[in-house]
Amino acid sequence: MMNAVGPLALALVLALAAPGCGDAGVDGGYRGEPLFALGGWVQVENLGAFVAGDAVRQGRLRMALLWAAPNGNSSRFDVVSSVAEEVDASGVFPARYSLALYTPPAASLVRAAVFGEDPVAIGVLVAFLDRDGDGRWQAGLDPLVGAVLGRAIVWAPRGASGDPFGAPLPPGFSLVAVEDDTGRCLEGGRALLTPVDADADLALTGEGVVEAALDLDCDGQALEWLAFCPPLEVVRDACEPGEGIDPGGGVDCGLCVPFLAPPGDDPAACDAWLGECLSHAPAPDCELEWRACRGEDGDPALVCGDPACLCEEVFRACLEGGGEPPECQARREVCLTF
């Protein structure tokens, strides 16, 4: 399976007043009529220091809609649209918000029928501080400070019905309420997505994106949302097990730490982890984590940067560690299954 690039997308317009017909984009160009618009009050809860003092002076508070990647292959994201208007985080909350979507998500983001007969794309709303002012969220640069819990955006090109939807969805975009007590797992109706009115109030909370991320394929992991995470070496430097959002770098530790290599330096465990990592993350990220896992002295250096070379490194390191050729060949084959 090839390691895909660009499986997440951002597409949100947020303002303190409802947008006019045919808004201009961030470049001033006319974008036509929106395909979907919603608005209401946004109530900020538990953001605390993230939207106060120095944090605000480092960037505007913006929101973004991030789509889950199909098949968990979420190595990075692709920006197809961006925030057109700023929200001043020093303003008084609750505040009015409006959201307009002018294009559907990319076809690559539309999930095949894994829990029903109708393909859909599912996205969640997050908040970030736009440090570089480009209107786009960048993992590891723009601190991720919160998420909207209990709501999701669904794109259903031909409509959708049956599990996990509490009522049929029309073709196009819908706002849905997430009713769940089973770990946000959608398969087999264990979580329910029920359409709600587009003029709905939202609760923006600092609890962490991991609380909003839906386990779309019910595999107990959150690979659909890996693009929320910066490079794995940044996660390792920023997070300790059990942490929430790291206020310095905006890393959602609760979501990102499980993607790190296992603790300890058991070479076999490190090699097995590497093959899994290559199925959903860029090879340089995986290589640095793999070398750290194996206990290489000092800061691990990037030697390969591509999967084929890295799997040869697994074979070489196994032989140098005293492994028998058949065992080392087996480890290389496991690595190459990505």
- Name the pTM for this structure: 0.66
Provide the number of structural domains found in the chain.
2
Domain boundary residue, one of 242, 276, 309: 242
251 belongs to a structural domain = no
Instruction: Note whether 128 and 79 are same-domain residues.
Output: yes
Residue 188: per-residue pLDDT: 56
> In this structure, how many other beta carbons lie within 10 angstroms of the beta carbon of residue 279?
18
Q: 107: which residues sit within 8 A by CB, 6+ positions away? A: none
- Helical H segments across the chain, by residue range: 54-57, 232-238, 253-256, 267-278, 283-293, 307-320, 325-336
Instruction: Note whether 135 and 232 are same-domain residues.
Output: yes
E strands, 24-139, where? 36-45, 60-67, 77-79, 95-101, 121-130
Instruction: Note whether 192 and 44 are same-domain residues.
Output: yes
Weakly modelled stretches of the chain, pLDDT under 50: 1-21, 26, 49, 53-56, 72-93
Residue 338: per-residue pLDDT: 66
Residue type, 51: V
Strand, helix or coil for residue 204: strand
What is the rounded CA–CA span in Å between residue 143 and residue 134? 14
DSSP state at residue 13? -
Domain boundary residue, one of 214, 242, 270: 242
| Angle between helical axes of 307-320 and 283-293 (0-180°, round to 10) | 10
Domain boundary residue, one of 242, 271, 296: 242
Instruction: Note whether 217 and 316 are same-domain residues.
Output: no
Residue 334: per-residue pLDDT: 85
235 belongs to a structural domain = yes
What is the rounded CA–CA span in Å between residue 71 and residue 225? 11
254 belongs to a structural domain = no
What residues form DSSP beta bridges with 172? 156
Closest CA to 64 of 141, 121, 145, 118: 145
Instruction: Note whether 206 and 324 are same-domain residues.
Output: no
The pair of three-digit structure tokens given for residue 49, joined into one six-digit string: 């220091």
Upper half-sphere CA count for residue 51 (Cβ side, 13 Å): 24
Residue 306: per-residue pLDDT: 85
* CA 42-193-94 angle, 5° bins: 5
The residue segments making up the domain with residue 289 are 261-336
The pair of three-digit structure tokens given for residue 10, joined into one six-digit string: 């951002």
327 belongs to a structural domain = yes
